[in-house]
Amino acid sequence: MPELPEVETTVKSLNILKNKKVINLNIRTKKLRYPVPVNKLKKIINSNLINFRRIAKYVIIDLNTSKSIIIHLGMSGRLRIFEHKSLKNKHDHLVLKFNNNHRLIFNDPRKFGFIDIIESHKIHNIKYIKKLGLDALDKNLSREYLYKKFYKSEVLIKQLLLNQYIVAGIGNIYASEILFDAKISPLKKGKNLNKYQIGTIIQSTRKILKKAIRSGGSSINDYVSPDGTLGNFQNNFKVYGKEGRYIKGFIIKKIVLYGRSTFFCPDIQN
């Protein structure tokens, strides 16, 4: 699923639509993960898009009407921008048409994403936003913050990194890459991490995620940025998807933790 780097890349690509007016929309699906707010969306016609931002894995589109569209891409969702009318795709669930003839399309084959619309100043009071932990790139993400979350935990560090209530934005792919970079085993329990190791995980988190953003995210499965550009960070994966290969003379293994594929090098990560 799109993780923090892919969502950040998506947000940056949307800037081509800044200050553009919505002149029409086509809602082709009434229900994704949750019901689509059809009546609220219809009211955005003649509104201008004034800002694009990211909260964790959510795309936020601010309108000049003090409303904001919230989009979660789910497992397979993506936003695409077309300069002219595109061929209709059965997985295109929402199409926004703008005054410059551009179209923004939300496509989601598996329908695990969702669309919401709310008053902009109330975003951080929405339940699914309010309960998020610190963003993975938040400058306030510190050793002290994570130590308080980890020091009594019997949960494995890989799963703790995926817990959006602790750190928001990290998904399965980047968790494996972060832990390899930090030389920490995904099998280590939270309570067994010292502050130095936690600091190393934070450093690796920032390093990996920022590098992935610069690379336009990772294009595996269906991810493509809104302008059609493929990300290329997958070419920099050290362990993810590399079961049986060797790195620095040591073999990479794949295990399943909490139902998720996990790639690591036991001889390097401890």
Q: Which residues are catalytic?
A: 2-3, 57, 260
Query: Is-contact 122 81, C-beta < 8 A?
Result: no
For residue 38 the two structure tokens come to 């059809």
- The token duo for 179 is 């832990």
Q: Helix (H, G, I), strand (E, B), or coil: what is residue 246?
A: strand
98: part of which helix (H) or strand (E)? Answer: strand 92-98
Q: How crowded is the C-beta side of 216, counted as CA atoms within 13 Å?
A: 14
Distance CA 56, CA 178 (A): 17
Q: Is 246 exposed, middle or buried (0-12, 13-18, 19+ CB in 10 A)?
A: exposed
